[in-house]
Structure 1
Amino acid sequence: MTVADHAPTHSPVPPLAARARSVGGSPVRDILAVTARPEVINFAGGLPAPELFDAEGIAAAYRAVLAEVPDRALQYSTTEGEPVLRAALAARTTARGLPTGPDDLLVTTGSQQALSLLATALLEPGDTVLVENPCYLAALQAFGFAGARVVAVPGDEHGVDPEALEELVVRERPKLLYTVPTFQNPTGRTLPAERRAAVAAVAARRGLWIVEDDPYGELRYEGERVPWIASHPGAEDRTVLLGSFSKVMAPGLRLGWLRAPGELRRACAVAKQAADLHTPTVNQLAAARYLADNDLDAHVTRVAGVYRERRDAMLAGLAGALPEGAVWNRPEGGMFLWARLPEPYDTTALLPQVVRHDVAYVPGAPFYAGTPDRTTLRLCFVTQTPEEIGEGLRRLGKGVRSASAGA
């Protein structure tokens, strides 16, 4: 008998956990893989424009840190995060209207990790989580992995309806509400100030916990800044605020943070110890050095000016690209625009035909926790130049018309 006689006929696969079997991958990342050809103008991603990164400023910060404190930069750090970075983040948060100390913050490996840590610390299988309709896709994944039951809160083009929220809180007794109230992903909409106050009042009356995710809020092109829900009376001690450098400095740094009351923050720190011990020290110190040596707000203002031009280019070309009867919004900032095609268009079925014309978008259906609106789609307008956006919309129009002609 030879060794070959004992060889398995196929690679063994250990039984997967139920959570791994039940939660699918990201349709957005699947689309990006399919449309990776360089000739494709891709409105499907959520990628900031790389040519606008302050690469030299960031590189200088790394060089300074590695030259001056290499032993510290390359060493293990505390789970909570480097004190110098937490102090800088606390100062920025306080300056924006929410008094915050360094010890109120936990540095995370991107704000996506903050979501995962909160799900680990708060959710038992079967717990109910309330979300916007539609909702940030990776949040649906995080809650799905935790075994949560996800329920969408009714709303309109301005966001969640506070009265509908209160009815659901009474009926469903959820663990938390997850919201991206400013320049939401996927819709780009912003929850008005009066609704934020109403949501905060619901939290105070009903004991609702809120997770307020704010990765895009600094990317405002027009209008006045709307204060965080976390800053409203009644919500201060019931809201976890998430932030990130991904959209304003660089996503490759993988630097985010959460601001939470002490007991919950400590539970998230324990969950983080099990996940990755701590966020990379050198990245934290470099970010803190960048904030000390540079004016990040001025950089964001420059970036927002470019993004506004790109948004305007997309708004100018949509009427010629989308079929008659289509509607879309005008976001005041952020990265995304949301469109709805007339019936009977199905944007998931339409996408492969559009991709043949070397352009792509994200169908709206995966962003819904409940019954999806299959006529919707998300367009990211920040990654391409105005000229590329114009060409991409011309291709999109050709793809839609060819699909209609073949129907």
Structure 2
Amino acid sequence: MKEKRNSLLEIQKPPAEKLYAEELDRLKKRDETKPKPFGWNLSPRAVIDFVLGDTNFGISPKFVGERNFIECCIVALATNRGLMLIGEPGTAKSYLSELLAAAISGDSSLTIQGSAGTTEDQIRYSWNYALMLSEGPSEKSLVPAPIYEGMKFGKIVRFEELSRCPVEVQDTLLSILSDRVLHIPELNGEENVLFAKQGFNIIVTSNTRDRGTNEMSSALKRRFNFETVAPISDISEEQALVEREMERLLKQANVPAKLPEDLTQVLVTCFHELRNSKTISGKALEPLSSTLSTAEAVSVGFSAVLHAYYYDEGKVNAGHIVSNMLGSGVKDSVEDLKKMRHYFDQVAAYRSERRLVRVLSVAKTFGSEFLMIEILYKMNFHIKF
């Protein structure tokens, strides 16, 4: 067991089926008498326990979302329609698809990354042309792609960012989703048709607020059940998730440090308010052109702790948060920097006590809106959100 854990530490991002192998084994043993669709490793009840967690059975929560939403996603995969997860960037669509594939098929590796350069060969199959020329077309010279593997072995296939693919490439899924069959005209006899085995289905993700995307055809849309992945609305749940994910990343990086709870609260609250374009008290804020996701909050917190660990003897302060937050907040537009300045000037400063107003004014005079937060922290003043 110890050797297995050490081997996982050597992998930058272990797949869910390896990272949570013990939990999946326990759920499978508990699940032997439960009804489940053909080709599934776990029953729908066990799948939702794996995703949302079951503290009574020692299963950790992995995704924050409404139970009814997760149930609809699982039921969609038990039908003859694919599952389309849509939502803003950073809402953990890919992570949810990975968890579902790991629980249902025990394998989340059959993944297609959509882009403008994605071809049909990368989706269905291609050929070893040297072998094909010497021996002719056969299963031996066929190089399977994720769709071929998923259909042959009855597994879930993940298609990330389908809307980034050209429309003609997207439409290669039409016959596969309709007839559950893949035609291979290069082969003869029974080998030229591959029928999908029980358990096969497709999970597609697509961003609703992104550039460089292509509209899907109506015919393709009709073959999917659409489910919208919403950002986390409960700030306490978001903070718990950020703390949990940072702990996992720091453990994997072998860094014996953590982000203080008060700074985690500041980080999550800033992201939450800027993402929703309003403060917790209801005051409207100018919306940013980019989305500040929970995943980016985790990344900023993780980077801040690493920064402090390697350069400042592990003492994390607000300066580390701010310096790493700039990269997340300002991506597509310089105007976002002005909006963030307004947020820190009007919201963070407003929450401070009057005895610090003069200090904050000095910081503002020197042109560093982010220095204000650093001053507040160094004076052991906790911003009250």
Is TM-score (shorter-chain normalized) higher than 0.5?
Answer: no
Question: Scaled by the length of structure 1, what TM-score is found?
Answer: 0.30
For the pair shown, which has the larger CA radius of gyration, 1 or 2? 2
Question: Scaled by the length of structure 2, what TM-score is found?
Answer: 0.32
Higher relative contact order (CA 8 A, sep 6+): 1
